Copies of this chain bind each other. A is one copy, B any other.
Amino acid sequence: MAGANGDILVDMRNIEKSYGGVHALRGVNLSIRRGEIVGLLGDNGAGKSTLIKVLSGAVPYTSGEIVIKGRPVRMRSTLDAIANGIETIYQDSALVPQLSIARNLFLGRELRKGPRFLDRLDLDRMNGVAAELLRRVGISKNIPPTTPIGSLSGGERQAVAIARAMYFESDLIILDEPTNNLGVAETQGVLRFVREARDTGHSCVFIAHNIHHVFQVVDRIVVMRRGTIVSDDLSPRTSSIQEVEDIITGEPVAA
């Protein structure tokens, strides 16, 4: 929460993004400090998902600059983001339905054993870690980690995506509406995880429409409307839920 420059982990400057005719981001500036949980709020279509997709390399941006730990970075693909310590849990299409829970968890960074070039998947270890993570994230039912994702309920899937971010502790963890399909226990698991992450020095961007969830964890609230950031230094300690909701819907500004 200190304002020193060295504390800034990610700095997005004047980001623009158009989808064909739709101007989804209109010059967005956003910095995220180390160990800070930023809540990103805004109505449907405000551009939240687009902004974090730009940051995680999933979508190319039209113009603008991204600086990470003081170094300008060109985000060309998700690999660039992962290499820079950014881990993302997407709102959609985050998992492969045909693969098992464990294989999904480790997709892209599989555990391996055996000599180089003849290495093989260390399925035992992957399954073991997966089972442990499922428990940590609060899935109470006894789901074996070899179950294909396709046969899980919507909430169970979301929990698996969360478990993945827990394991690969990155500098910045982005969660796009992670509590969306979750029940009470699972939601508490996610919020607990976000707090844990902050306490161990990681930063988080947390997107959610449920303001109650946002208020429970974040340090700072950023509100977007129609592709721009309309407010970026609200604190849940100083603002009320009603005030934030009004800013989101644009009531006081329009009135």
Contacts and interface: CB of A to CB of B under 8 A. Distances in A.
A240 interface: no
A161 to B, nearest CB: 13
Interface string A169-192: 000000001011111111100000
A155 B248 contact: no
Contacts of A195: none
B183 A248 contact: yes
A211 B188 CA distance: 14
A174 B186 CA distance: 24
The complex is assembled from copies of this chain, and their number is: 2
A46 B183 contact: yes
Given A180-B180, A210-B210, A155 B44 contact: yes
B209 A181 contact: yes
A80 interface: no
A141 interface: yes
A222 interface: no
Given A181-B180, A183-B209, A248-B183, A151 B44 contact: no
Q: Which of A43, A139, A151, A154 has the most CB of B within 10 A?
A: A43
A1 B175 CA distance: 42
Contacts of A183: 42-44, 46, 209, 248
Contacts of A91: 154, 181
A177 to B, nearest CB: 7
B209 A245 contact: no
Given A44-B139, A139-B44, A141-B45, A184 B155 contact: no
Nearest to A43: B183
A19 B151 contact: yes
Q: Which of A22, A91, A183, A186 has the most CB of B within 10 A?
A: A183
A185 B43 contact: yes
Interface in A193-240: 209-212, 226
A118 to B, nearest CB: 36
A159 interface: yes
A140 to B, nearest CB: 8
Contacts of A181: 44, 91, 177, 180, 209
Q: Nearest 6 CB-CB pairs, A to B?
A: A44-B155, A43-B183, A44-B183, A45-B153, A180-B180, A185-B249
